[in-house]
Structure 1
Amino acid sequence: MSMYAVSLFLLGVFGFSAYGQPDKGQNGKGPIWNATMTDLLKRDLFQGYDKFARPAQHSDTTNVDLAITVRYVHVDDKRFMLTVHGWLKMVWHDEKLKWNETEYKGLTMLYLADHELWQPDITLFNSAVGNTLDHYGNSHSIAYCSGTVLWVPPAQFIVYCNLDLTHWPFDTQMCHLILGSWTSSGDQINLTAIEETVNGDTLGVDGSEWKLLKVETKRKVTFYACCDEPYIQVYIYLTVSRLSATYYSAIVLPTIGMVLMTLSLFWLSPHTQERMVLSATILLLICIYLVYFSQRLPATGSNTPLIVSFYSYHLILVVLAIIMSVVTYNLASLKKPVPWYIQNIVRGPLGYILGVHHQQVGYTVEMSGEDEIRSYDDTREERGMLPTNQPGKPWAAIAAALDRFLFFFYVLVFFCLALRSAF
Structure 2
Amino acid sequence: MVQFTYFVWCASLALLVSLASCDRECPDNRKEQNHDEANLNHDLLCAYNADFRPVTDHKDAVNVSVRLALKYLSFDALEETFTVHSWVGITWKDQFLKWTPSDYGNILETQLESHQIWSPRMALFNADATMYQSEQMYTSCLVQHDGNVTCVPHVAHTGICRTSLRNWPYDEQNCTLYFGSWMNTGEQVNYTFFKTRPVVMDDYQNGPGWKLLHVVNERLPGKYKCCPNNTYPMLKYTFVLKRISAGPAAIVVVPSVVIILLTLMSLVLDVKDYTRLVLICFSLYGHFAFLKEIGYQIPKHSADPPILLLFLRDSMIITLAGIVETLLLMYLRQRVIPAPGWIVTVNRLVSSGPGKYVVFTEFDPNEEFDTKGLTEVSSRGDDAKARVHLDWIQFANLLNSVMFIVAALAYVVLLSVYLPRDN
Q: TM-score range by the shorter chain?
A: 0.7 to 0.9
Question: Match for residue 223 of structure 2?
Answer: 222
Query: Deviation of residue 135 (structure 1)?
Result: 4.9
Given that 2:358 and 2:402 are in contact with CA atoms closer than 8 Å, whether structure 1 keeps it comes out as no
Given that 2:213 and 2:242 are in contact with CA atoms closer than 8 Å, whether structure 1 keeps it comes out as yes
Give, in whole Å, the separation in 1 of the partners of 2:267 and 2:25: 106
Summarize deviations over 1:218-245 as a string: whole Å, max 9, x none.
Answer: 2222336367322211222222111111
Question: Match for residue 187 of structure 2?
Answer: 187
Question: Match for residue 163 of structure 1?
Answer: 163
Given that 2:191 and 2:235 are in contact with CA atoms closer than 8 Å, whether structure 1 keeps it comes out as yes
Given that 1:199 and 1:214 are in contact with CA atoms closer than 8 Å, whether structure 2 keeps it comes out as no
- Is the counterpart of residue 24 in structure 1 residue 28 in structure 2? yes
Summarize deviations over 1:8-59 as a string: whole Å, max 9, x none.
Answer: xxxxxxxxxxx9987435xxxxx65534443222112212111112111212
Query: Deviation of residue 195 (structure 1)?
Result: 5.5
- AA aligned to 2:95 is E
Listed as ranges, the matches of 1:279-318 within 5 Å are 279-318=280-319
Summarize deviations over 1:367-402 as a string: whole Å, max 9, x none.
Answer: xxxxx96569xxxxxx95486486734533432333
Give, in whole Å, the separation in 2 of the partners of 1:204 and 1:245: 22
Residue 351 of structure 1, aligned match among 347, 351, 356 = 356
Deviates more, 1:57-66 or 1:32-41: 32-41
SS, match of residue 84 in structure 1 = strand
Give, in whole Å, the separation in 2 of the partners of 1:88 and 1:123: 13
Using a 3 Å threshold, how does the CA distance of structure 1 residues 131 and 240 change in structure 2: closer, same or farther? Answer: closer
- Which structure 1 residue ranges, 4+ long, deviate > 6 Å from structure 2? 19-22, 358-361
Query: Deviation of residue 63 (structure 1)?
Result: 0.6
Using a 3 Å threshold, how does the CA distance of structure 1 residues 254 and 195 change in structure 2: closer, same or farther? Answer: farther
Question: Match for residue 94 of structure 1?
Answer: 94
Given that 1:113 and 1:139 are in contact with CA atoms closer than 8 Å, whether structure 2 keeps it comes out as yes
Query: Deviation of residue 259 (structure 1)?
Result: 0.8
Using a 3 Å threshold, how does the CA distance of structure 1 residues 21 and 268 change in structure 2: closer, same or farther? Answer: closer
Listed as ranges, the matches of 1:268-283 within 5 Å are 268-283=269-284
Using a 3 Å threshold, how does the CA distance of structure 1 residues 52 and 416 change in structure 2: closer, same or farther? Answer: same
Deviates more, 1:170-179 or 1:187-196: 187-196
Give, in whole Å, the separation in 2 of the partners of 1:21 and 1:271: 106
Q: Which runs of 5+ in 1 are unaligned?
A: 1-18, 26-30, 362-371, 377-382
Question: Match for residue 124 of structure 2?
Answer: 124
Query: Deviation of residue 196 (structure 1)?
Result: 3.3
SS, match of residue 163 in structure 2 = coil
Question: Match for residue 410 of structure 1?
Answer: 407
Question: Match for residue 60 of structure 1?
Answer: 60
- AA aligned to 2:406 is F
Give, in whole Å, the separation in 1 of the partners of 2:236 and 2:61: 21
Using a 3 Å threshold, how does the CA distance of structure 1 residues 234 and 386 change in structure 2: closer, same or farther? Answer: farther
Summarize deviations over 1:284-309 as a string: whole Å, max 9, x none.
Answer: 22112222333333332322211111
Query: Deviation of residue 109 (structure 1)?
Result: 2.6
Q: Which has the higher contact order (CA 8 A, sep 6+)?
A: 2
Question: Match for residue 175 of structure 1?
Answer: 175
Query: Deviation of residue 130 (structure 1)?
Result: 6.6
Instruction: Indicate the RMSD between aligned Cα atoms, in angstroms.
Output: 3.1
Question: Match for residue 42 of structure 1?
Answer: 41
Summarize deviations over 1:172-213 as a string: whole Å, max 9, x none.
Answer: 111211111122111111111236323323433355211222
Given that 2:256 and 2:290 are in contact with CA atoms closer than 8 Å, whether structure 1 keeps it comes out as no
Give, in whole Å, the separation in 2 of the partners of 1:349 and 1:401: 13
Using a 3 Å threshold, how does the CA distance of structure 1 residues 21 and 288 change in structure 2: closer, same or farther? Answer: closer
Question: Match for residue 85 of structure 2?
Answer: 85
- AA aligned to 1:245 is A
Question: Match for residue 327 of structure 1?
Answer: 328
Give, in whole Å, the separation in 2 of the partners of 1:264 and 1:231: 64
- AA aligned to 1:87 is W
Listed as ranges, the matches of 1:66-77 within 5 Å are 66-77=66-77
Q: Which runs of 5+ in 2 are unaligned?
A: 1-22, 366-372
**Higher fraction of strand:** 1
**TM-score by structure 1 length?**
0.81
Q: State percent identity of aligned pairs.
A: 22
- AA aligned to 2:51 is F
SS, match of residue 83 in structure 2 = strand
Using a 3 Å threshold, how does the CA distance of structure 1 residues 71 and 409 change in structure 2: closer, same or farther? Answer: farther
**TM-score by structure 2 length?**
0.81
Give, in whole Å, the separation in 1 of the partners of 2:270 and 2:160: 55
Give, in whole Å, the separation in 1 of the partners of 2:395 and 2:154: 73
